[in-house]
Amino acid sequence: MARRRRVRAPTLGRVLATLALPLWVAMSVAGEAQASEVRMTSRSIGEGYMVRLPGPEGQLVGRRRLAQYVNLGVFGILPPKESDQLRRDPEDGQLQVVASMRLRHDFGTFTRRASGQAADLIESLDGRQIDMMYGYLEGQSIARFFDFKLGRQFEMSGLDFYVFDGAWLRARTPAHVAVEIFGGQQVDGTAVFGFPTFELDGTQGTPADDSHSPMVGAAFALDAVKFADARFAYRRTWSPASINDSIPDVGGTSGVGTVVNQEFVTGQVALRLAKGKLSPFGSARYNLGVSRLDDLSAGVWWAMTEKHTIRAYYLRTIPSFDLDSIFNVFALEPFEDVRVVYQVRTGPRWTVYSRFQGRFFHASPTGELDTEPTERVAFGGGGGGGAELRTRRFGMRLDGYGLGGEGGIRTGGSVDTRTHVLYDRIALDARMYGLYYKDDFTEDREGYSISLQTGTNVRLGHGVYLNLLAEEIFTPYYKGAFRAFASLSVDGAFRVGQR
């Protein structure tokens, strides 16, 4: 079967239409906008270096990347409710529009084309140069109880890390419970403007890649409760046959069948006890698609005194994938983590900390092959520590760590400093990183590296910053490895309308 490119090239018209819609809606609702604040930010980030590939071939490949962001925000769209107010009372409701777009290109080189199932898809991803990171109209406290977002939204919660085009609505009740519903189309490879972090779903390389996937969800959350935050949510993403009837299925039949791609239930709780000195927190996600608890974490943050704090938590995770992927079938065992961080502010300028991390991997006999694992539980972990100094114009951070067990040995240390000079308009950075590693599987994967970095962050004008960073790496394998990084950031704001 001939493979098709999964991603359609965006047109200028679609770009403009996507941007214009939330703005048009906002302005229509707002009527005569007064004193709206418009904020625009652009950032251009470039980096370049050469990499010598490990191995006896030692080929050199170039890495040159450019990313440009344009962010737009229009805040305070609704005018004050009373004529004598300088600005609108937040309780009276407010609208804002925020958007972020990214243009990126990788000018790097590779040694070959991709092969097999991945080839077409990976190459089509290279052609995706415009990302719509987010862009939505947001209403806060509309009619004093209702919040909403309309447009492309980025969600990071116990449910997952995902982006969708659609609507999110929340109604707050007097009973300190907020009810949320949300829905739209999940952003994946079919979106006109992509989001760079969508995970491929296991249908890659087949026409099913073009399936549209609606998403719906609902949640209950505590609202305005001083000592607790809690949220319980449900989300389902599926590919219905009714809207994908023109896509041929694997067997050549017309129309792919309805399948569920993701279905989760989550709960998350965070408490504030003892006037904020004790903060237990936890979250759990049950993956209905594979019928198991695939993410669980619980911990506590305790400020024992004003200077001493300790944070400890446990997490249990089973890697999970889109239900279209067979990878779920193989991921059977969780890994469990125990982490502890202890921090002391030894003085007004110095803070020191230590950290322990232990991870336990489990294995079980395979079903049909009846192969016994060499060890039922494998350990990987270690610890580290560091200190931070902050004075009037100088900041320094020292870190050291060592990890062993599963994966091998990794140990290292670092020094990061920043010094402000010339009216605080120039920051000078000096960093040094040292690293030693030894693979537990592959004897030849052993080495060390020391990298020295110097850089500067220059304020060129009102909201205009230039960041330059150069690095030289010393290893037994390279004569030298020079790397350069630059970013230019322009941030500006102005008001529209009269106050």
Partner 1 sequence: MMSRRAERGLSGRHLGWALLWCCVFALGLYGDEAASKLSGPRANRAQTTTAPMGRSPTVVGGGNKPRARGETPSTAGVMHGPRRRGTAVYPAQDIPIRFNHGKHLLRGMDCAQCHTGIDASRRAADNNFPGGKVCDSCHTAQHPKPADVDANCSLCHTAVDDKNRVTAGLRAPRPLLVFNHELHERAGSDCEDCHGDMSKVRLATRLQLPDEQDCLTCHDGFGATDACSACHPTEASGRLQLRAIDDRSMPALVPRDDNSWGAAHDLAFVEDHAHISKANPKLCESCHDETFCIDCHAGSIRPMRIHSGDYINVHALDARAQTQNCQSCHRTQSFCLGCHERLGFGAEEGGAFAVGGSLSFHPDGWAGPPGMPQTHAHAAQRNMAACASCHTEDSCLACHATSKGPVAGLGANPHGARFRDSARCNALATRNRRVCLKCHAPGDAALDCL
Site for partner 1 in 383-442 (CB under 8 A): 384, 386, 388-397, 399, 403, 405-408, 410, 412, 414-425, 427-435, 437, 439, 441-442
Minimum gap (Å) between residue 13 Cβ and partner 1: 25
Amino acid at 187: V
Q: Considering beta carbons, is residue 10 or 237 the nearer one to partner 1?
A: 237
364 contributes a contact to partner 1 by CB under 8 A = yes
Q: Pairing state of beta strands 146-157 and 130-142?
A: antiparallel
Determine, following the binding rule CB under 8 A, whether residue 465 of this chain makes contact with partner 1: yes
| CB closer to partner 1, 27 vs 481 | 481
Any contact of residue 148 with partner 1 (CB under 8 A)?
Answer: no
Per CB under 8 A, 358 contacts partner 1: no
Q: Given the structure tokens 């279209």, which residue do they identify?
A: 324
Q: What are phi and psi of 47, to 5 degrees?
A: -145, 150
Q: Where in 475-494 is the site for partner 1 (CB under 8 A)?
A: 475-481, 485, 487, 489, 491, 493
Least distance in angstroms from the C-beta of 29 to partner 1: 19
CB closer to partner 1 out of 192 and 429:
429
- With contact defined as beta carbons under 8 Å apart, do 478 and 448 qualify? no
Taking the alpha carbons of 269, 275, 276, 280 in that order, is the dihedral positive or negative? negative
CA dist., res. 96 & res. 148, Å (int): 11
- Compute how many residues bind partner 1; rule: CB under 8 A: 229
- 138, burial (CB in 10 Å: exposed 0-12, middle 13-18, buried 19+): buried
| Binding residues among 37-76 for partner 1 as defined by CB under 8 A | 37, 39, 41, 43, 45, 51-58, 61, 67, 69, 71, 73, 75-76
- Per-position x/- string for 217-236, each x denoting binding to partner 1 as judged by CB under 8 A, each - no binding: -----x-xxxxxx-------
Q: How far, in whole angstroms, is CA 250 from its chain's centroid?
A: 33
Provide φ and ψ at 241, rounded to 5°: -65, -30
**Residues numbered 281-300 forming contacts with partner 1, rule: CB under 8 A:** 281-283, 288-292, 295, 297, 299
> What is the Cα–Cα distance from 458 to 228, expressed in whole angstroms?
42
CB of 140 to partner 1, least distance (A): 8
Our finding on whether 98 is near partner 1 (CB under 8 A) is yes
- Residue 208 engages partner 1 in binding (rule: CB under 8 A): yes
Q: Pick from 386, 362, 488: which is nearest to 41 by CA?
A: 488
Please provide the DSSP assignment of 274-331 as one string: GGGTEEEEEEEEEETTTTEEEEEEEEEEEE-SSSEEEEEEEEEE-----TT-THHHH-
For residue 291, count CB atoms less than 10 angstroms from its CB and return exposed for 0-12, middle for 13-18, buried for 19 or more: exposed
Region near partner 1 per CB under 8 A, out of 11-19, 20-28, 179-187, 334-342: 334-342
Query: Is residue 315 part of the contact set for partner 1 (CB under 8 A)?
Result: yes
Q: Is 233 helix (H, G, I), strand (E, B) or coil?
A: strand
10 versus 256: smaller Cβ distance to partner 1: 256
